Structure formats: C-alpha cells, structure tokens
Amino acid sequence: MRSDLVYPAVRKLPNRYLLCQVASKATRKFHRPNTRVQDTMNQILEKFGQVEVQGLVSATPALARLERQAA
C-alpha cells in the first residue's frame, strides 16, 4: 500500500505539504513513458523514506522565495 511508503517519508520530511510538492515534481521529472505513474510515484516515496533529506529542508525557504518571484 502507498501509505506504507508515505509514513517513512513523512518521518524524514515532516512537512506534509512540502512532501506532496516535492513528490509531485519528482514524479513528473522521473516518469518514463510506457510506465505507470503510480509505479513512478511509489519509487519516489521509497527513495524519500530511505535517504536523508535534511539539506532539502534547510533550503526550502530559499526555494519558496524563488518560486514566488518566478510566478
């Protein structure tokens, strides 16, 4: 189940909104044609649960400012 993949990812990245934003962007970037989007999303969530994303969390305010300026 996908919830089994989400809970470890939430422990690494406690902001659920940020997790959804980053997971959706990563899914769009890493999706390959002729594969299911669900499989790509599951792979992304597995990676988030395995790796340390501390650098991403500290860079988040700067990224948010850049995205607001670009919009």
pTM for this prediction: 0.62
44 near 27, Cβ under 8 Å?
Answer: yes
In what helix (H) or strand (E) does residue 62 lie, and over which residues does it extend? helix 54-70
CA distance 34 to 8: 28
SS3 44: helix
Residuewise pLDDT in 10s, the chain (71 residues)? 677 778 777 777 777 888 888 888 888 888 899 999 989 888 888 888 877 655 555 555 655 666 666 55
- pLDDT the model gives residue 41: 87
28 near 14, Cβ under 8 Å?
Answer: no
Q: Which amino acid is at 64?
A: A
DSSP single-letter state for residue 13? S
The residue extents of the domains of the chain are: 2-70
